[in-house]
Amino acid sequence: MKKDIAKKWIKALISNKYKQGTGTLKQYNSKGEAQHCCLGVLCELYNKDMKKNKKKTLPENIYDNDCNFSHGYAKFGNRKEDLPKEVREWSGMKTSLGKFAFKSKDYTGEYSDTECLADLNDSGRKFKTIAKIIDKNWENL
């Protein structure tokens, strides 16, 4: 992914401006407050950048109910759970779910593995932890 976009994303994730949610890019809790997946935050940054540069933003379509989310969710463009093509191209992301390869070591030696930002988000990793992962792996995203 592009380094400058990664830096903006990291800053947004650790800013406490966005409440963390799971399952969709953006959903609403019982109080009507927006909650975002880490990928949803990237979609918000895309729209903010497009608006600032007087370019076309992704429509944010809000739906009242879903079988998994009783208080509603939003789609960015036509995407509910993964990055729209426009956001991937703008950010330089290789995949729509933030999949990346990394090297690690254990008692058997060095090995390669893959991880996915959407899965990390949905399994309970906090935005600050995800921000550190992005900072360490932005070139592989």
- Sorted by where each begins, the domain ranges of the chain are 3-136
**Residue 114: pLDDT band with limits 50, 70, 90:** confident
Q: Taking residues 88-102, what's their average pLDDT?
A: 94
- Among 61-75, 81-95, 111-125, name the one with the lowest average pLDDT: 61-75
- Cβ contact 3:134 at 8 Å: no
What's the longest Cα–Cα distance across the chain?
53
126 pLDDT above the threshold of 70: yes
pLDDT tens profile 128-137: 999 999 999 9
With a pLDDT cut of 90, the percent of the chain lying above it is 72
Query: pTM above the 0.85 mark?
Result: yes
Q: What is the pLDDT of residue 122?
A: 96
Q: Helices H, strands E: what count in the chain?
A: 5, 6
**Residue 102: per-residue pLDDT:** 76
Q: What is the pLDDT of residues 54-78, one digit of tens each?
A: 999 998 877 776 555 457 888 899 9
DSSP symbols for the chain = --HHHHHHHHHHHHTT-S-B--SSSEEE-TTS-EEE-HHHHHHHHHHHHHHHTT-PPPPEEEES--SS-TT-EEEETTBSSS--HHHHHHHT-SSSS-EEEEEEEETTEEEEEEEEHHHHHHTT--HHHHHHHHHHHGGG-
